[in-house]
Amino acid sequence: MKKILLAFAITICSFSFSQQNTSKFSVTYNKNIETYFLAEILSTEHRRNNKDFELYKIKECSGYQPIVKKALNKFGHLKNSPIAVATAELNDVIMEKYGLGNDALMKSLVYHKEFPSNNWQNDYQFEFSRLNKDQNKEVTLLIKNYINELSKFYTQEKVEVFFNENKDFYQGSINEYNKHIPTGFTYAMEQFYGEKFNQYVILISPMMMWPISDGEGRGIGTDVVLKSGAKNIYEIASPFVKVEKQGQFGYDNQFQASFLSVHEFGHSFVNKEVYKYSDKLLKFKDMFEKSNLKETMIKTGGYGDHETCVAEHLVRLGEIQTAKIQKDFERAKRLEEYHLKNNFIFLPQLEEKIKEYNSNRATYKTFGDFVPQLLEVFENSNIDFINSELEKVKK
């Protein structure tokens, strides 16, 4: 779920090849995702929560995201339309009642076949570990009803025409992102995690607004289980470069492109394993809340609960290990330094611990098999250590 902020310049080795010929990997866009973010733009005036930030995003991003500006010019008269009101209400309700953000909607949008289809790729059910069974059912119904209305909006307002009018920009964005992806990174991830997925898909989203500063962008990870049982995983990427002249598309940053891809795909390997062991993290939950870590993690990236903090640490561990498998040791080192400076204080211990996993793959065939051992790093900590390490980061 997560926004990834990069506020530093980083030098990595140059790749003269892409992964576009790897059959399991692709870069494209999704009409459902783009239509949702269009509706979100139109909904701003009706928001109860985060309205000031949403207004700021429109003012800021319309200046250097051409698709946002074109969408406002073509569809701005619909700001009081039923879909604008419904989009605002959905976001406010899931935030106020369930503590969820718009990233929670992404799975349903890729589970649904692309508009104008009214069908689903497979049965969609919302599921979030911190909600009970009835709450998950409530959210499922809210989202399904909303997507039905979004599909009608797509057809009634001829949104397809907009995508056709701007197909060259979307293709340029796909090409720009794709050229920066190092060959074989998905295979390196599979080697580390001991698990494979059916497809790895980057969904560029020129319509998603995230204010750009110093090469920062937002990535959202999700997945879809097909009727065959195979699972596809996705990373939805906002632009992370300002479009300031002809021939730019918003994705011309090699480090950010590869960083976001490995990070968001990593969540599909990691999150499900962490949430299996909620009962093993009760001691860490107490430390997380009583130390300075909770406040720090919220400021770092909005990571306001202990399980998310653990998952984010393990995803970053996976980024570093993936870089090492690809023999990109410079990048691995820079990632270590950057993440430590951004308060991921358990990484040194996790890196030491993961050596046991790497040297005993006959015993630990998958990353999931080793997660209980990694969780010991968090459970065996203490408040004094946590606060002391956070103070070191400040210096």
d(Cα 32, Cα 152) in Å, to the nearest integer? 12
The yes-or-no verdict on residue 357 having pLDDT over 90 is yes
Place of tokens 């090849």: 17
Q: What is the pLDDT of residues 295-344, one digit of tens each?
A: 999 988 888 899 999 999 999 999 999 999 999 998 899 899 989 999 99
Give which of 1, 168, 140, 146 is closest to 70, Cα–Cα: 168
Residue 15 pLDDT: 34
Range in 14-18, 34-38, 69-73, 99-103 the model is least confident about? 14-18
| DSSP code, position 17 | -
pLDDT tens figures, 255-266: 888 888 899 999
In terms of Cβ atoms closer than 10 Å to its own Cβ (0-12, 13-18, 19+), residue 59 is exposed
Is the pLDDT at 21 greater than 50? The verdict is: no
Residue 380 pLDDT: 95
The 3-state DSSP class for residue 238 equals coil
| 0.75 exceeded by pTM | yes
* pLDDT attached to residue 1: 38
Q: Can you give the pLDDT at residue 23? A: 66
**Predicted local distance difference test score (pLDDT) of residue 18:** 40
Within 10 Å of residue 140's Cβ, how many Cβ atoms?
A: 15
Average pLDDT over residues 102-113: 97
Closest CA to 44 of 73, 81, 70, 69: 81
Question: 213-241: per-residue pLDDT in tens?
Answer: 877 789 999 999 999 999 999 999 999 99
Task: Report the pLDDT averaged over residues 43-69.
Answer: 96
Burial 283-322 (b: 16+ CB within 10 A, else e): ebbebbeebebbebbeebbebebbbbbbbbbbbbbbbbbb
Burial (CB count <10 Å: 0-12, 13-18, 19+), residue 25? buried
Q: Which residues of 221-252 are buried (b: 16+ CB within 10 A; e: fewer)?
A: bbbbeeeeeeebbbbbbbbbbbbeeeebbbbb
Q: Within the chain, where are the H helices?
A: 31-42, 51-61, 66-75, 82-98, 106-111, 133-156, 159-165, 167-178, 185-193, 254-274, 282-290, 293-301, 306-325, 329-341, 347-359, 367-379, 383-394
Q: Give dist(CA 382, CA 395) in Å, integer.
A: 21
Amino acid at 308: T
Tens-place pLDDT, residues 63-83: 999 999 999 999 999 999 999
- The first and second tokens of residue 314, run together, are 């393990």
pLDDT average, residue stretch 127-139: 93
Quickly state the pLDDT bin for 281 (edges 50, 70, 90): very high
Strands 199-204 and 25-28 turn out to be: parallel
| Per-residue model confidence (pLDDT) at position 13 | 34
Mean pLDDT of the chain: 91
Dihedral of the alpha carbons of 160, 162, 168, 171, in degrees to the nearest 10: -50
Give the chain's length: 395
Cα distances (angstroms) measured from residue 312 to each of 5, 163, 230, 366, 393: 13, 35, 25, 18, 18
pLDDT above 90: residue 278: no
pLDDT at 19 over 80: no
pLDDT 10s digits, 164-190:
999 999 999 999 999 998 778 999 999
Quote the CA–CA distance of 101 and 56 in Å, as a whole number.
17
